[in-house]
Structure 1
Amino acid sequence: MTTEQNEQAQDLQQEQAESQTAQTQAETEQTDVSVEDLQAQIGKLEESLKLEKARTANAVYEAQKSVERIQRESDKHKDTVLEKFAKELLDSVDNLERAIQAAGEEETPVLEGVKLTLKSLLTTLEKFGVVEADTQNGFNADLHQAVGIDPNAKANEIGTVLQKGYTLNGRLLRPAMVMVGA
């Protein structure tokens, strides 16, 4: 009986050894196949990563362009609003200048107050880029509007300024209405 048991134990060990050998061979074959599969997967993942990086770069580029476009539109809108506001204030400047002219030579506290108000308003306008158009260096069709001929002025020279002109950050806000020599 012991011999039979020993034989059975040996048979069992042989079967287990054969099974382990077969399993090791299968794992080796599976490992070879797995390495190839893994390399293929790595290649696919690298391609996918390149595609996603390109998509991300494109999205970042589009976002930057959108921000720049919105900024340009905002600046343009701000300039338009500032231009409209400044044009409306120019009427007040004109009225204050007319009040000073109408007062004549007599210095009164009211006239002094009007002059100070005009000076304050012009200073505020200058802070925001509104400046008086130059009328000292001859007629310039880009800055001046000729509304008549001044017989006392030289040709192409400004004789009389009927209404001052103004520019906003270098752009014409309102042309100066002038009389020009012939």
Structure 2
Amino acid sequence: MATEQNQNAQDLGLEQADEQAVNAQTEAEQTDLSVEDLQAQITQLQDSLKLEKARTANAVYEAQKSVERIQRDAEKHKETALEKFAKELLDSVDNLERAIQAAGDVESPLLEGVKLTLKSLLTTLEKFGVVEVDMNNGFNADLHQAVGIAPDAKAGEIGTVLQKGYTLSNRLLRPAMVLVGQ
């Protein structure tokens, strides 16, 4: 009986050893498959990461371009609004200059107030880039509008200025209306 028990124990031990060997071989095969599966999954995730990085970079690029475009549009809108506003103020400048001319040589506190108001308005316009068109260098069709002939002026020179011209940030805001020599 002891021998039978020993034999059974040995048989059991052999069976367990065989099962362990089979299990170890199965686990090794599963491990091999798992490593291959994991490597495939890693490769797939790396490809997915590259794609997402490219999408993110493209989105950042598009956002930067949008910000730049919005800034350009805002600047253009600002310039347009400033141009319209400055054109309207030029009428006030013209009226103040006419009032000074109409007063003639008579000095009065009212005339002094008009002169100071004109000076203040012109200073404010200059702060924002509105500058009077140059009249000293002769007629320039880009800056002056000839509306007639000045008989006492030389050819190509400005005889009489009917209305001053102005530029805004080196762009023509209003041409000077002048009489030109023939």
- Normalising by structure 1, we get a TM-score of 0.95
Q: Which residue of 1 aligns with 2:8?
A: 8
Q: Please list the CA deviations of residues 29-82 of structure 1 after superposition, one character each: whole Å capped at 9, or x if unmatched.
A: 111222222222222222111111111111111111111111111111111100
Q: Any residues of structure 2 matched to 1:156-167 within 5 Å, and which?
A: 156-167=156-167
User: Which letter maps to 2:62?
Assistant: E
User: Which letter maps to 1:178?
Assistant: V
Work out the CA distance in 2 between the residues paired with 1:144 and 1:7. 124
CA RMSD of aligned residues (A): 1.3
Cα deviation for residue 21 of structure 1 reads: 1.2
Cα deviation for residue 2 of structure 1 reads: 4.6
Are 2:79 and 1:79 equivalent residues in the alignment? yes
Q: Any residues of structure 2 matched to 1:85-104 within 5 Å, and which?
A: 85-104=85-104
Q: Which residue of 2 aligns with 1:139?
A: 139
User: Which letter maps to 2:25?
Assistant: Q
Cα deviation for residue 22 of structure 1 reads: 1.0
Cα deviation for residue 158 of structure 1 reads: 0.3
Q: Which runs of 5+ in 1 are unaligned?
A: none
Cα deviation for residue 132 of structure 1 reads: 0.3
Work out the CA distance in 2 between the residues paired with 1:11 and 1:160. 129
Cα deviation for residue 18 of structure 1 reads: 1.6
Work out the CA distance in 1 between the residues paired with 2:3 and 2:83. 114
- Normalising by structure 2, we get a TM-score of 0.95
Question: How many equivalent pairs are there?
Answer: 182
